[in-house]
């Protein structure tokens, strides 16, 4: 019996080997991997909100130990994954591989960024509490809201993005997307005090800029008008060079299901965009945009 089983497995193995020859090939520890990035995200949230995500003693005298052990572990994971990402890019672009010292310097800067991110997420917590009548306490925002997970991870990923680290930033925000249904590209520049209520289905594009104290509901999209536009060479224009997503000025509120499109579209400060609105042009500050009640057809049904 074993023989037939082994023969069958061997045949599958041979054919899979052949199939692995074609891109994207095999990740021979030369790229980051999803498992390690999930670990990185967990380590990040643990450091940003001690005791809220992981059950562990962090009070009083234990805080030093917590910081020492957690920072060291976070630094280790980050260094390994940043190194893989940067070496990968160097190989693709024919550049020289990054020096260990340079990588360490980069990671040291990212550790410093961690403090700045903590400062920002405090404003997010406060803004969420200020805007959700269901938030009975400030702490429940950290303990239960998906917005905190998605925005905190994006804020850190954005730091990696701005420092030119490839692959990792997007992997981090997609990890958050999988956990929350909120998809924010690491390229988006988001100012302080940002909150997304419920959140499922939100999409925020790479080149969006969002001001202070903005508030979004579930299903809102800040997206490209024509995502498939191509340059003179017929190729997609990739990345930040192609400003294709809208901007929000300060204190903008967008209700559920609304879609804002286009790289030149700017929603002026203090504006309110109603639910399900489809907006393709800029509106000045203090605008209120809403769908006129769509015509409804209502009739009485007979009993089943």
By CB under 8 A, the residues from 126 to 165 that bind a second copy are 126, 130-146
Is the separation of the CB atoms in 214 and 194 below 8 Å?
yes
* Structural tokens at position 48: 């940003």
Among positions 98-117, residues that touch a second copy (CB under 8 A) are 100, 104, 108, 111-112, 114-115
Nearer to a second copy, 96 or 299 (CB): 299
Nearer to a second copy, 232 or 296 (CB): 296
Among positions 57-96, residues that touch a second copy (CB under 8 A) are 57-65, 67-69, 71-73, 75-76, 79, 88, 92
CB of 216 to a second copy, least distance (A): 12
The angle subtended at Cα 141 by Cα 137 and Cα 142, nearest 5°, is 120
CB of 234 to a second copy, least distance (A): 10
Nearer to a second copy, 212 or 270 (CB): 270
Among positions 173-202, residues that touch a second copy (CB under 8 A) are 173-174, 177-181, 183, 185, 187, 197-198, 200-201
- Residue 86 CA to residue 83 CA, distance in Å, equals 5
Give the residue among 192, 196, 149, 197 at the shortest CA–CA distance from 173: 149
Among 87, 90, 162, 166, binds a second copy (CB under 8 A): 166
Among 40, 49, 153, 155, binds a second copy (CB under 8 A): 49
CB of 246 to a second copy, least distance (A): 14
Is 2 one of the binding residues for a second copy (CB under 8 A)?
yes
Among positions 244-283, residues that touch a second copy (CB under 8 A) are 244, 253, 256-257, 259, 261, 270-272, 275-280, 283
Q: Please enumerate in sequence order all residues whose Cβ is within 8 A of that of 168, keeping only pairs 6 or more positions apart, or say none.
A: 32, 37, 81, 82, 85, 157, 160
Is the separation of the CB atoms in 132 and 148 below 8 Å?
no
| Angle between the N-to-C axes of helices 34-48 and 100-131, in degrees from 0 to 180, rounded to the nearest 10 | 60
Among 94, 96, 232, 296, binds a second copy (CB under 8 A): 296
DSSP per-residue letters across 168-233: HHHHHHHHHHHHHS-EE-TT-EE-SSEEESS-TT-EE-TT-EE-TTEEE-TT-EEE-SSTT-B-TT
Nearer to a second copy, 24 or 94 (CB): 24
């Amino acid at each position: 019996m074993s023989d037939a089983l082994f023969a069958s497995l061997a045949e599958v193995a041979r054919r899979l080997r052949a199939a692995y020859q074609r891109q994207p090939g095999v990740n021979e520890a030369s790229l980051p991997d999803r498992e390690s990035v999930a670990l990185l995200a967990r380590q990040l949230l643990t450091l940003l909100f001690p005791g809220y995500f992981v059950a562990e003693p962090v009070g009083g005298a234990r805080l030093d130990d917590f910081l020492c052990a957690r920072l060291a572990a976070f630094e280790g994971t980050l260094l390994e994954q940043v190194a893989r990402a940067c070496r990968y890019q160097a190989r693709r672009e024919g550049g020289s591989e990054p020096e260990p010292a340079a990588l360490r310097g980069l990671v040291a800067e990212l550790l410093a960024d961690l403090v700045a991110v903590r400062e920002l997420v405090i404003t997010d917590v406060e803004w969420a509490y200020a805007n959700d009548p269901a938030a009975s306490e400030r702490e429940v925002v950290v303990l239960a809201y998906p917005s905190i997970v998605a925005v905190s991870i994006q804020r850190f990923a954005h730091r990696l993005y701005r420092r030119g680290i490839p692959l990792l930033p997007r992997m981090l925000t997609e990890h958050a997307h999988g956990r929350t249904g909120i998809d924010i590209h690491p390229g988006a520049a988001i100012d302080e005090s940002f909150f997304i209520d419920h959140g499922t289905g939100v999409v925020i594009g790479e080149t969006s800029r969002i001001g202070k104290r903005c508030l979004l509901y579930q299903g809102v999209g800040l997206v490209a008008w024509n995502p498939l536009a191509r340059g003179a060479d017929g190729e997609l224009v990739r990345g930040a060079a192609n400003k294709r997503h809208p901007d929000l000025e300060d204190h903008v509120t967008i209700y559920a299901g609304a879609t804002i499109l286009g790289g030149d579209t700017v929603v002026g400060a203090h504006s309110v965009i109603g639910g399900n609105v489809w907006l393709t042009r800029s509106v000045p500050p203090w605008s209120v945009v809403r769908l006129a009640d769509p015509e409804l057809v209502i009739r009485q049904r007979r009993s089943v």
